[in-house]
Structure 1
Amino acid sequence: MTFEQFIFYTLAAVAIISGFMMITVRNPVKAALWLVLAFVATAGIWITAQAEFLGLVLILVYVGAVMVLFLFVVMMLDINLTILKEGFTKYLPLGAMAAIAIFAMMYLVLGPEHFGTDVTGMPITQAADYSNTKAIAIPLYTTHVYAFILAAVLLLVGIVAAISLTLRRRSSTTVLYQDIDKQVKTLAVDRFRMVQMDSVVEKHIASKSEDDK
């Protein structure tokens, strides 16, 4: 076994164990952390396969942004763990059967007879100055540019739809709204009032004179 094969099998084992722990732990924060470890192991596998761009994007986007957002949302939600624990053993046989069926289908599609080295051959070793970022960008922005733009439009529509569904207008009696136009047209005389106040010394002298009387 070469060193590259050792790294590959180690990262694959870490990814499998992390995925299994993510779906078995009952604490949602720990599940999110196990998912982060699975992402990191998968990114390492992509880097060993000379797909550095995809590995770094997986770490920067999913681990650095998406999973941090998930952790904040999970920690801010008041999740009742007792209810989650009640249905775990109840649906465990059904979940095990579904997992076995999924693994069987994956083996039929991704088995050695379809993706083994005897079928695909050994991977091509690229030169040191090879840029997989350029290799991805050229067909993405030329051959598949329309699909790329369509995916961007769909994501934009999804964002607008999510904001529209969560937007709730409340009455002005319970929520204070900001009127930008009114704030811009506000004059200083409408907001400030000069008040003449006696100093502390004058108040002290006045109170002492009243006491003397």
Structure 2
Amino acid sequence: MIQTLAFYMFAFLVVASGVFTIMARNPVHSVLWLILAFFNAAGLMVIVGAEFIAALLVIVYVGAVAVLFLFVVMMLDIDFAELRAGFIKNFPLGIAIALVLLAELVLGIGAYRAGALELGVPDGSAAPALDRANIESLGLVLFGKYLFLFEVAGIILLVGMIGAIVLTHRQRPEGARGHQDIGKQVRRRPQDATVMKKPEVGKGVEL
């Protein structure tokens, strides 16, 4: 009984948070509603026994992605008047996209009711291991059968990170403000770290 009540509570809060996320006028409020939706989705995952997915939702999505969105939105100087003007300008295009998505949704529901596609017979290799927790079963599958795909995904993410660093890196000219000379920093002696100056009264210090 309590599981049913918890499910309906979390499900209602997820749907309500999603609606408020897209209906909020303030972008900061929208991100906060999104964080609430993630928390309630994690609660649903706990109810169905997927503790690892629930932990990922809280740690990765709430702790990293949503907080990053929040900081980015708060640092942006958003002109709400211009934002509303752009909304009115692109309203017909938004309606067209919404109609296309609605047609796809209706088509998908119709295809689902017509019957699922026969994609093959499961071989049982991805079945949960007996007498093991959810996370242990997931680890056995991820680092067993799908180890190669997991490593390839890690390499792709690493290449993407290196590419982002290379694209955004700007080489500063010698002597420019903020330029670092790593060799000079390493060779610096402790006694050269600070210099005592005794300026005369009314005169500045020459650095």
Residue 132 in structure 1 maps to residue 144 in structure 2: no
Instruction: For 1:160 and 1:30, locate their aligned partners in 2 and report how far apart those are by CA, in whole Å.
Output: 33
Determine the structure 2 residue equivalent to 1:66.
65
Alignment of 1:100-119 (within 5 A): 100-108=102-110
Q: Separation in 2 of the partners of 1:3 and 1:144? A: 36
Aligned-partner SS, 2:188: coil
CA contact (8 A) 2:24 2:30 kept: yes
Q: TM-score, normalised by structure 2?
A: 0.74
Identify the residue that residue 42 of structure 1 maps to in structure 2.
41
Per the alignment, in what secondary structure is the counterpart of residue 88 of structure 1? helix
- Cα distance in 2 for partners of 1:159, 1:170 equals 21
Q: Which whole-Å CA distance do the structure 2 matches of 1:131 and 1:20 have between them?
A: 34
| Deviation of 1:197 (Å) | 8.7
- Describe the shift of the 1:4–1:95 C-alpha distance in structure 2 as closer, same or farther (beyond 3 A): farther
Q: Pick the aligned partner of 1:182 from 178, 181, 184.
A: 184
Query: What SS does the aligned partner of 1:87 have?
Result: helix
1:160 CA displacement: 0.9
Residues 59 and 102 (structure 1), Cα distance of their counterparts in 2 relative to 1, 3 Å cut: farther
**1:173 positional shift:** 5.6
Choose between structure 1 and 2: higher helix proportion: 1
Structure 1 residues 112 and 69, CA, compared in 2 at 3 Å: closer, same or farther? farther
Cα separation, 2, equivalents of 1:177 and 1:50: 52
Distance (whole Å) between structure 1 residues aligned to residue 159 and residue 51 of structure 2: 31
CA shift for structure 1 position 168: 2.0
Task: Kindly indicate whether the alpha-carbon contact (under 8 Å) linking 2:172 and 2:179 is maintained by their aligned counterparts in 1.
Answer: no
For structure 1, the 5+ residue unaligned runs are 115-125, 199-213
User: Is the Cα–Cα contact under 8 Å of residues 26 and 84 in structure 1 kept in the other structure?
Assistant: no
Letter of the structure 1 residue corresponding to residue 159 of structure 2? V
Deviations 1:7-65 (A, max 9, x none): 22222222122222222223211111111111112111111111111111111111112
Determine what percentage of the aligned residue pairs are the same residue.
37
